[in-house]
Amino acid sequence: MSSSPQPSRTTPGPRTDADIPAYLESVGLPGLADIHIHFLPEPMLRKVWAYFDAAGEHYGRDWPIEYRYDEATRLELLRGFGVRAIPALAYPHKPGMAQWLNTWCAEFAARVPDGLHCATLYPEDGVGEYVAQAVSDGAQLFKMHVQVGRFAPDDPLLDPAWSVLEEVGVPVVIHAGSAPLPGEYTGCSRVAKVLSQHPDLGLVIAHLGMPEYDEFADLAMKYPNVHLDTTMCGTDFTEQIAPLPTAYRARLADLREKVVLGTDFPNIPYPYAHQIEALTRLDLGDEWMRSVLWRNGASLLGLEDD
């Protein structure tokens, strides 16, 4: 990938959520293409929030949930921010969960007009068949979490699913980096093995792959359909645990067409606007911001630039 042109001026980012619409207007964007948003069945969401409420035990620091609201309120907040399509990323932590979650995600997309039809997968018998069925039913985005699921992305059981997803070109948001907690199967090497076998697979590396930033950037440079999402990266919260290396800024400039907005809403310990502000602080220019906040994600998700 060739080096990026000299970046344009970088407009200061929004300081509060109320500032987001004016910021988008100032840089000429029709909205936000956020690829990393979570909606879950309510009992599951309550368990996730309870986990973060005990973050001191897991991470050694507090993790307050900024957007602990009911579903309707969370949807309206995202629309107010300018999010044009709303993913419902869900992921299983044991066998037998994925198909149930896929059914719930399909129902979410059917009842939420701007909801994005998402799905998930797990290394188990039949995964190729139910992934193919989810795609046939209209799934536009998949989610996988290696650390939570405690499985290897190169598990042979997943190979039929990877083949289906590579063939149809539906992207998968995959959390495989070793932050905030490492796992037995986290890191870049197993994802690299998957891509060596499925080089056209569309993977979106969550959190820029933190803290293995450079290793995952190498994959984005090498493979045509690998992207990086910005979830939590560069924020004050994350800079304390997995800071972006100084030289990595130049890599992000070169990877402008491969970086997409992600936020982890609603499970973030700061306002939504802070993610956008953190990206503007990289000072990579308004054109880079336009690509990251809208163009790249809109292309992956099939959104139109009205």
Domain boundaries, the chain: 17-301
The confidence score (pLDDT) of residue 7 equals: 59
Strand segments (E) across 14-122: 118-120
Average pLDDT over every residue of 211-238: 98
Name the 3-class secondary structure at 173: strand
* CA 227/CA 203 separation, integer angstroms: 6
State in Å, rounded, how far the first CA of the chain is from the last one. Answer: 29
User: Is residue 194 a contact partner of residue 225, using CB atoms and an 8 Å limit?
Assistant: no
CA gap 66, 47 in Å, rounded: 16
Q: For position 8, what pLDDT does the model report?
A: 75
For 92, phi then psi, to 5°, come to -85, 160
pLDDT per position as a tens digit, 167-200: 999 999 999 999 999 999 999 999 999 999 999 9
The predicted model scores a pTM of 0.96
**Looking at the domain that runs over 17-301, which CATH code has it been given?**
3.20.20.140
Residue 184 · residue 150 · CB < 8 Å: yes
Listed in order, strand segments (DSSP E) in the chain are: 118-120, 141-145, 172-175, 203-205, 226-229, 259-260
